[in-house]
Structures are given as structure tokens and as C-alpha cells.
């Protein structure tokens, strides 16, 4: 892709040069929005509750749709280029098939959340964005033309224009961990009855692990709840030897309860616009949480540039809602496909194997609507 041609820097007339924008939340969505508004000429201040943009989180997958939006902001994720995705029977360790990912442009990448956050923070700094740390915000800061609510899954700003929401526990929990392990540049999906594990490399001999299990016992939502690795290992005691040997390398792990949140009814009102997890948290089964937040950020800034700060957020909401709803629906459906039991499980493996032999590109193309999307169009 010709990144330079699409970059804002070469196309913009900086129509937002008199605008002042407050972004609440310095996560992936907030920093991308800050960068986009700054590139469109606005004065941007980011308010982040944490004392530092610390090295937290584990791996993210940046799919071509997210990478395309980042490219328009002159950010090329410094991750590992994915070559393939390999579904495996998690009980026997047998690979079922292999789907090629190497032809994507821009490439599909695996990256540590902290690496991308760091790249975005540097780009924001270079674009003149002001970052205010230790700033927990509960209502839009005064003195700005627009407030962007990018305050994540437990967004305070969302409730201001939507009222309280009631997420429900999906009956699934996920552990995440990083181990030292050299692996091929591919994602592996180990499918077990009622559970699955996704592994992919993060570079420097690190392997990212996300292990999902269906269970009735409730677990807290959030990224920072530590758990005993023994719980993870015992949950997967029926796994194949190769998977078990990876899990025995886990020394630190975090557990999060997977909740379904409704998509916020209102994404904007009276000088406030929501994006990313603040507007539409998603389950992780399509790896789109960060990518949708990145797309949102670009589209919101672009709509404000093209339509003004009053109408821009309305255009943004209209443009984004159908796409986000489709992606979230697809993510919700995916867990079921990974967790099959009994005869359905064998049938699905046989079908996957056949597709992998006769029409592997058809399998990948069923996600063209997701990956081929270009926010700059």
C-alpha cells in the first residue's frame, strides 16, 4: 500500500486548526484519536488516570483494517508479521489445517500492547499533543470544543449520555500470560470441548497465551486480576502434551471474566463523543477490540474535519454503528465454534480440513468485509 499517498499530512487542509479537543483515556483508542485530531490541526490534550503509560497488558493482534487506519496516521506497528493461523485439536495436538495470512497488505501483526501504546505516545508527542497523567475525569473537562470519551470498558463518560448499563457474565473466563518460548510467526488455535487456547509470538522469544474456558463460576471483569497459574494448568489438564508443556511454563497469569456489554445507544451528545471500549466493548474472539477502537478514532476525527465539530460526531455515529455491530456479532459467534463437543466437534474438524485442502482462500475471504475495510476511503 502506498502509505504516503493516504497519510493525512499530505492531504489535509487542517480545518480543525482552531479547535481544542480533550481526549479522556490514554489507551489505544484515546491515543489514536489524539494523534488523528492533532494531524488534522487541532490542539489536543489527553487526560489519563494512570500515573504513567506503563507497560501493562499482553498481546494484541493488529489486523489489516486497524493497520490501514494507523498507516494513515503514519504509524506502522512494530510487531511480528503473521504468516498463518493454524487450528489444532487441543486434545491430541493434531493440526487440522493451516490458513495463510502472509498475503495481507498492510500485514496482519502480533504486537505487545505496550509496544503499540509506546509508538502512539511518541507519535502524539511529536504531533504536539499534551498528555496529562494522574487525571481521572468524571465529566467533560471545561474549556474544550469537544470531549472524546475513550475511557475504556468501565467508561464513566458513557454513563453520562446513556445511563447505567448491566453487562452479563457469559459463563466464560480467560487467562492471559506471556511465556518464554520460540515459536513460528503464526497464531495457533487449540480447540477443546468447552475451551480454547490461542497462542502467538510477540518477538524476543516471547509467546502470548490466551486460554478461554466455559464455567459457571463467576470471575471479575478487568485486565489486572492476577490468578494462580496452577488454576490455568488444572483447567487444561485434559489438553495435548504439547499444549500442557506450554502451560507449565506460565509463572504469572491474569484472569478476566468475559462479560457481554450492550453497544451504547448514544455515542455522542452535546460536545461529547465516545469511542472504542467506552462505546462498544467486544468479546476477544475476533481480535477486534483494539482494531475497532483505532478505526473509530480515525473516523471520528475525519468526520469532525469534514463536517465540523457539531455534525461530525453524528456522522461518525451513523457510519460506525452498523460495522461495529456486525463485528461484535461475529466475535460472539466464534467462541461456540471453537468449543464444540461430541460428534459436532469431529464434523467441524473434518469440514475445516476439507476447506483447508480445497478452498483455503475462501475461508480467509469470509472475513474480507472485516479486514479489507479502509477507513480512509
Ligand X SMILES: Cc1cc2nc3c(=O)[nH]c(=O)nc-3n(C[C@H](O)[C@H](O)[C@H](O)COP(=O)(O)OP(=O)(O)OC[C@H]3O[C@@H](n4cnc5c(N)ncnc54)[C@H](O)[C@@H]3O)c2cc1C
> Which range, of 177-185, 263-271, 276-284, 349-357, touches ligand X by CB under 6 A?
276-284
C-alpha cell of 202?
Answer: 510477540
Q: Which of 6, 21, 36, 57 binds ligand X (CB under 6 A)?
A: 57
Query: Which three-class secondary structure string do you get for the chain?
Result: CCHHHHCHHHHCCCCCCCCEEEEECCCHHHHHHHHHHHHCCCEEEEECCCCCCCCCCCEEEECHHHHHHHHHCCCCCCCEECCEEEEEECCCCCECCCEECCCCCCCCEEEEHHHHHHHHHHHHHHCCCEEECCCCCCCCCCCCCEEEECCCCCCHHHHHHHCCCCCEEEEEEEEEEEEECCCCCEEEEEEECCEEEEEEEEECCEEEEEEEEECCCCCCCCCCCEECHHHHHHHCCCCCHHHHHHHCCCCCEEEEEEEECCCCCCCEECCEEECHHHCCCCCHHHCCHHHHHHHHHHHHHHHHHHHHHHHHHHHHHHHHHHHHHHHHHHHHHHHHHHCCCHHHHHHHHHHHHHHHHHCHHHHHHCCHHHHCCCCCC
CB of 210 to ligand X, least distance (A): 8
CB of 150 to ligand X, least distance (A): 5
Closest to ligand X by CB, 96 or 297: 297
Closest to ligand X by CB, 240 or 284: 284
Total of residues contacting ligand X (CB under 6 A): 34
Site residues (CB under 6 A) for ligand X, limited to 74-113: 113
Q: Which of 12, 20, 50, 263 binds ligand X (CB under 6 A)?
A: 50
Residue 289 engages ligand X in binding (rule: CB under 6 A): yes
Nearest Cα to Cα of residue 71 among 296, 294, 292 = 294
Nearest Cα to Cα of residue 115 among 79, 65, 151 = 79
Provide the β-strand partners of residue 214.
172
Q: Which of 293, 309, 327, 375 binds ligand X (CB under 6 A)?
A: 293
Q: Which of 158, 176, 315, 323 binds ligand X (CB under 6 A)?
A: 176
> Which range, of 43-51, 87-95, 225-233, 308-316, touches ligand X by CB under 6 A?
43-51
Q: Which of 19, 27, 247, 288 binds ligand X (CB under 6 A)?
A: 27
Residue 305 engages ligand X in binding (rule: CB under 6 A): no
Residue 149 engages ligand X in binding (rule: CB under 6 A): no
Q: Which of 8, 137, 207, 264 binds ligand X (CB under 6 A)?
A: 137
Closest to ligand X by CB, 23 or 247: 23
> Which range, of 83-91, 161-169, 285-293, 304-312, touches ligand X by CB under 6 A?
285-293
> Which range, of 19-27, 68-76, 189-197, 355-363, touches ligand X by CB under 6 A?
19-27
Spatial separation of the C-alpha atoms in residues 287 and 43, rounded to whole Å = 32
CB of 276 to ligand X, least distance (A): 2
Residue 150 engages ligand X in binding (rule: CB under 6 A): yes
Residue 263 engages ligand X in binding (rule: CB under 6 A): no
Residue 64 engages ligand X in binding (rule: CB under 6 A): no
Residue 47 engages ligand X in binding (rule: CB under 6 A): yes
Residue 116 engages ligand X in binding (rule: CB under 6 A): no
Site residues (CB under 6 A) for ligand X, limited to 201-240: 223-224
Judge whether 138 and 25 are in contact, CB under 8 Å. no
Nearest Cα to Cα of residue 93 among 185, 188, 173 = 188
Closest to ligand X by CB, 261 or 339: 261
Residue 140 engages ligand X in binding (rule: CB under 6 A): no
CB of 267 to ligand X, least distance (A): 13
- Main-chain phi, psi angles of 210, to 5 degrees: -125, 120
Residues near ligand X (CB under 6 A) are 24-30, 47-50, 56-58, 60, 113, 135-137, 150-153, 156, 176, 223-224, 276-278, 284, 289-290, 293
Amino acid at each position: 500500500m502506498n502509505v504516503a499517498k493516504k497519510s493525512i499530512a499530505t492531504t489535509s487542509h487542517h480545518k480543525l486548526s482552531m479547535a481544542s479537543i480533550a481526549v479522556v483515556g490514554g489507551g489505544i483508542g484515546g491515543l489514536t484519536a489524539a494523534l488523528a485530531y492533532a494531524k488534522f490541526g487541532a490542539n489536543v490534550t489527553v487526560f489519563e488516570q494512570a500515573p504513567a503509560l506503563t507497560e501493562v497488558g499482553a498481546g494484541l493482534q493488529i489486523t489489516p483494517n486497524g493497520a490501514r487506519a494507523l498507516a494513515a496516521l503514519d504509524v506502522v506497528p512494530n510487531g511480528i508479521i503473521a504468516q498463518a493461523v493454524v487450528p489444532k485439536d487441543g486434545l491430541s495436538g493434531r493440526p487440522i489445517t493451516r490458513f495463510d495470512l502472509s498475503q495481507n497488505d498492510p500485514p496482519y501483526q502480533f504486537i505487545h500492547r505496550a509496544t503499540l501504546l509506546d509508538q502512539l505516545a511518541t507519535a502524539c508527542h511529536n504531533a504536539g499533543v499534551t498528555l496529562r497523567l494522574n487525571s481521572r475525569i468524571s465529566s467533560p473537562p471545561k474549556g474544550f470544543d469537544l470531549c472524546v470519551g475513550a475511557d475504556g470498558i468501565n467508561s464513566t463518560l458513557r454513563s453520562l449520555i446513556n445511563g447505567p448499563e448491566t453487562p452479563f457474565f457469559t459463563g466464560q473466563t480467560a487467562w492471559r500470560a506471556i511465556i518464554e518460548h520460540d515459536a513460528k510467526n503464526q497464531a495457533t488455535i487449540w480447540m477443546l470441548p468447552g475451551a480454547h487456547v490461542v497462542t502467538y509470538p510477540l518477538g524476543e522469544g516471547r509467546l502470548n497465551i490466551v486460554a478461554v474456558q466455559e464455567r459457571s463460576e463467576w470471575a471479575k471483569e478487568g485486565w489486572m486480576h492476577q490468578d494462580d497459574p496452577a488454576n490455568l494448568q488444572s483447567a487444561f489438564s485434559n489438553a495435548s502434551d504439547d499444549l500442557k508443556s506450554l502451560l507449565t511454563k506460565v509463572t504469572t497469569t491474569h484472569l478476566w471474566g468475559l462479560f457481554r456489554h450492550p453497544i451504547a445507544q448514544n455515542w455522542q451528545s452535546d460536545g461529547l463523543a465516545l469511542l472504542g471500549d467506552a462505546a462498544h466493548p467486544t468479546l476477544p474472539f475476533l481480535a477486534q477490540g483494539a482494531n475497532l477502537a483505532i478505526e473509530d478514532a480515525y473516523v471520528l476525527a475525519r468526520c469532525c474535519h469534514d463536517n465540523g465539530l457539531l455534525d461530525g460526531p453524528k456522522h461518525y455515529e451513523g457510519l460506525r454503528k452498523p460495522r461495529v455491530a456486525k463485528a461484535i456479532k461475529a466475535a460472539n459467534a466464534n467462541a461456540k465454534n471453537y468449543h464444540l463437543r461430541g460428534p459436532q466437534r469431529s464434523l467441524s474438524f473434518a469440514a475445516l480440513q476439507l476447506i483447508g485442502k480445497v478452498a483455503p482462500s475462501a475461508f480467509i475471504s469470509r472475513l474480507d468485509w472485516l479486514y479489507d475495510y479502509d477507513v480512509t476511503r
